[in-house]
Chains A and B, each alone.
Chain A
Amino acid sequence: MKLVTGNDLVSGDVIWWTGSGWSRFIADAVDSGTEGEAIGKREEAALRVNGPYVVEAADGPFAPVPLHIKERIRASGPTVRTDLGVQAEKQH
């Protein structure tokens, strides 16, 4: 599956395209199919995301799992500070 991700313009937080908006939780991300680049361009122009791009992911038990380790770390937070990043917050 293909996810669209980027950073929130103001906070810099990692965010994921949910189909109707953006979420900090990868569990909310949806497969963007072939529309990822177009979604990114449109949303960046509206200042709702900074630097969007498409990443490959696989289905996981609770949430999509990016194929590349860099994206997995982006999705959760620093592996050496599990008290920081979205990993430290309760998933909703």
Chain B
Amino acid sequence: MKNIIEFLKKNIVPIMFIIICSICVPISGFSVTYMINEVMTRLTRNAFLILSLLIPIMAGMGLNFGMTLGAMAGEIAIVLVSDWQIWGIPAIVLACIFSIPISILLGLFCGKMLNMAKSREMVTSYIISFFMNGIYMLLMLYAMGPIIPIKHTSIKLPRGYGIRNTVSMLNNRQCIDNALAFSVGGVKIPVLTLLIIAAMCLFIIWFRKTKLGQDMRAVGQDMEVARSAGIDVEKTRIIAMVISTVMAGFGMVLYVQNLSSFSTYSSHSNVGMFAIAALLVGGASVDKASIGNVFLGVILFHTLFIVAPTVGTKITGDSMVGEYFRVFISYAVITIALIMYEIKKRQQKSNAGKLLAEAQNKEEQ
């Protein structure tokens, strides 16, 4: 009985979502095939991005709100590749390659900043992402054109410089998703994308067994002990940030090829927020996350996303209510997860006191 309560306590967020989903899905009236298809699409679209969050958590740096930086790098690369009129899989590969140096630079910057703000990584990375957003906008609005040549009019703003609100990659639409894809009972299985995600998972599993991975786990649990054992704590943390940022860049490219267009000035922020919310819905916490959390989270969170507008319409007659709720819920999830993390830490601390009182009681008996 105690175990069951303990289990429920630990997994309260995923359980809540399972309950909400199991109520909402029947109300929405969607067919099973439609649901599976949609979930599959969103799984392949988002999983890579969420996986990029795992390594900083391992290194004890919490939820990497700075993954937005990687997403920005991915977007810059896509804009350039689209302008050069390169299409198909080569375009995606090129965009990935192009995002790497930008991601590395941003990751180094972010890592250095976070080293100066130890134990306040999350709020710092969150604010850094706002700050970099400003620089990114400056680049997209004014530098693209006069400084970085942009030729194609479908990308450029009508005024002659700057990038349009939406960049379309229609010609690259789902070129990876469609490669090797087949359909089972009306459900499209994007084999290549799944293979890429699987490779990524394998990389993370392998990475945990490397010396660097071991060092990151050590640094993540106790920086001082790691330092006294001779591990270069600062460098290890920066590497964790760089890897995460580069992976987020790749994830963004994959994300955009699936959607085939993105809104230049806002999608990176949304992507960051939803990735973190999804990971938390999957049962991860600030200091612990697994690949299983990623997939469970992406399925639960996006199931709710899919059905929310329809359920909203059915219940209140207004589709905007559902829309409102899904944004509201993702913030709520993050807030709850952060608070629960703090509560858990406090509880562990006060346990020591309880033990002392118990020891005294025992002695008296």
- Asked if A pairs with B, the answer is no
Which residues does B use to contact A, with CB under 8 Å?
none
